Amino acid sequence: NAGVTQTPKFRILKIGQSMTLQCTQDMNHNYMYWYRQDPGMGLKLIYYSVGAGITDKGEVPNGYNVSRSTTEDFPLRLELAAPSQTSVYFCASSYSGQRYGYTFGSGTRLTVV
């Protein structure tokens, strides 16, 4: 039982490049989330999903896209990387939303130069 797995752990992008941050969970959780963590700013919700085929925007969705074709996978896509997207990205999942808390991945540290 690996929990929530994120890849890659680190990445440096040039402005305008694109990439996909991968997230997969093996706990059969319906709910999955993407957060970004900026120093002194806490965690901001980018996108979330309540099940396969269903996604919705969080607080800071601009510049990102997601898809949820399976229960296990919830990739986050950056189409045109910008310096403002330099951050640590966390994927999380939960069984029934809020009641039991979230299980987080180890994070992806992204730098856009």
Residues engaged in binding other proteins (CB under 8 A): 31, 33, 35, 40-43, 45, 48, 50, 58, 90, 92, 94, 96-99, 101-107
Question: In sequence order, which residues have a C-beta less than 8 Å from that of residue 77 and are 6 or more positions away?
Answer: 18, 19, 20, 21, 64, 65, 66, 67
- Residue 101 beta carbon to other proteins: minimum distance, rounded to whole angstroms: 4
Q: Which residue, 74 or 102, is less far from other proteins as judged by CB?
A: 102
- Residue 62 beta carbon to other proteins: minimum distance, rounded to whole angstroms: 17
Which residues on adjacent β-strands are paired with residue 22? 7
| Residue-wise DSSP of 19-72 | EEEEEEESS--SEEEEEEEETTTEEEEEEEEEETTEEEE-S--TTEEE--SSSS
Q: Which residue, 14 or 99, is less far from other proteins as judged by CB?
A: 99
- Residue 12 beta carbon to other proteins: minimum distance, rounded to whole angstroms: 19
71 backbone dihedrals φ, ψ, rounded to 5°: -65, -35
- Residue 34 beta carbon to other proteins: minimum distance, rounded to whole angstroms: 11
Q: Which residue, 54 or 113, is less far from other proteins as judged by CB?
A: 54
Which residues on adjacent β-strands are paired with residue 74? none
Q: Which residue, 81 or 108, is less far from other proteins as judged by CB?
A: 108
